Amino acid sequence: MKTLVIAEHDNGALKPETSKTINAAVKMGFPIDVLIAGNNLSAMSSQVASIDGVANVLVADNSVYEHQLAESMSDLVLSISDNYSHIVASATTTGKNFVPRVAALLDVAQISEIIAVVDADTFKRPIYAGNAIATVKSLDSKKVITVRASSFDLQGEQSAVAITSIDTVSDSQLSSFVSVEQTESERPELTAASVVISGGRGMQNGENFALLNGIADKLGAAIGASRAAVDAGFVPNDMQVGQTGKIVAPNLYIAVGISGAIQHLAGMKDSKVIVAINKDPDAPIFQVADYGLVADLFEVLPQLESAL
């Protein structure tokens, strides 16, 4: 019995989700191999080999895997799946895309976005936008799992283990990459930041999001948004925190002009400390906030920036 973890990266850098997913895999109790699939991965394989708990690193370095298209990724994972009882990836958009395809090809159910490992077959996962936590036991001989990285810790380091390359390449030809449009940002990544400041509909327009910049700079924070702010076109959609956006659990989450709908809370209510700034004292966000400030955000944000 061995576990295969598929590494999360963008070809340039390893994502912290990889280490956190390995942390979850360690709790499943079996030796862990990590698969890195991508293009020009050289530095990354040794980085993975030094994550505590990893037994072997498998590297599939080929232009076919550069964009981690689901069809090729699932064929690759399938080709080595015989050796593993557990196949585990992060519940990022990459993992969510190819992992269910792997599960179907293996004819097993998939367990999505686990937040805790009870034992090797049993896991906890949120359902109904995080309003309930289900404990589910897999009855399949192989477990195919995605992990909510924000619920697990970073793994420590070890002296590097062996790295093996996988040379067989399968290109499904069912799909091809056309283009990518990356949102440029100097700030920490939303899902990895220890402080997140998010704006909602109350920000009124995209220009006003600049009011969050100074505060984010001083706190080293990432900037997020509610669905209302994204739908209104204030900010790009990859900034969205919530059931259908990103799930974050920073040390400090500051919600500015966000009412606190069920779908938004699903993405941030596991934050350690929540601060809400809203002029409506009845906004549901105050029911989960550790510190609430009932005030006009346009008066308060400049004050907050200068106070930090």
Partner 1 sequence: MKVLVPIKRVIDYNVKARVKSDNSDVDLNNVKMAMNPFCEIAIEEAIRLKEAGTATEVVAVTIGPKASQEQLRTALALGADKAIHIETDEKLESLHIAKLLAKIVEQETPELVILGKQSIDSDNNQTGQMLAALTNRGQGTFASKVVIENGKVNVTREVDGGLQTVALNLPAVVTTDLRLNEPRYASLPNIMKAKRKPLEVIAADSLGVDLTPRMQLISVEEPAKRTAGIIVEDVAQLVEKLKTEAKVI
* Region 112-171 residues binding partner 1, contact defined as CB under 8 A: 112-113, 122, 126-140
Nearer to partner 1, 162 or 174 (CB): 174
Q: Which residues pair with 165 in a beta bridge?
A: 59
Q: How many CB atoms lie within 10 A of CB 42?
A: 8
The Cα–Cα gap between 143 and 138 comes to: 7
Binding map of partner 1 across residues 17-36, x = CB under 8 A, - = no contact: --------------------
* Choices 20-28, 57-65, 197-205, 271-279; region in contact with partner 1 by CB under 8 A: 271-279
Is residue 211 within the footprint of partner 1 (CB under 8 A)?
Answer: no
What is the nearest approach in angstroms of partner 1 to the Cβ of residue 163? 26
Is residue 252 within the footprint of partner 1 (CB under 8 A)?
Answer: yes
Q: ∠145-249-85 over CA atoms, to 5°? A: 15
Residue 18's contacts (CB-CB under 8 Å, 6 or more residues apart) are 5, 7, 8, 9, 34, 48, 51, 90
Single out the residue of 46, 63, 158, 176 in contact with partner 1 (rule: CB under 8 A).
176
Interacting residues with partner 1 between 40 and 79 (CB under 8 A): 67, 69-71, 74
| Sign, CA torsion 295/299/305/307 | negative
Interacting residues with partner 1 between 82 and 101 (CB under 8 A): 92-94, 96-101
Cβ–Cβ under 8 Å, residues 113 and 56: no
- DSSP letter for each residue of 188-245: PPTTT-SEEEEE-GGG-SSGGGHHHHHHHHHHT-EEEE-HHHHHTTSS-GGGBBSTTS
Is residue 13 within the footprint of partner 1 (CB under 8 A)?
Answer: no
The Cα–Cα gap between 36 and 61 comes to: 8
Nearer to partner 1, 52 or 71 (CB): 71
What is the nearest approach in angstroms of partner 1 to the Cβ of residue 7? 14
* Choices 43-51, 54-62, 206-214, 273-281; region in contact with partner 1 by CB under 8 A: 273-281
Is residue 229 within the footprint of partner 1 (CB under 8 A)?
Answer: no
What is the nearest approach in angstroms of partner 1 to the Cβ of residue 257? 15
Cβ–Cβ under 8 Å, residues 150 and 47: no
Is residue 296 within the footprint of partner 1 (CB under 8 A)?
Answer: no
Residue 107's contacts (CB-CB under 8 Å, 6 or more residues apart) are none
Is residue 192 within the footprint of partner 1 (CB under 8 A)?
Answer: no
Residues in contact with partner 1, counted by CB under 8 A, come to a total of 91
Nearer to partner 1, 42 or 182 (CB): 182
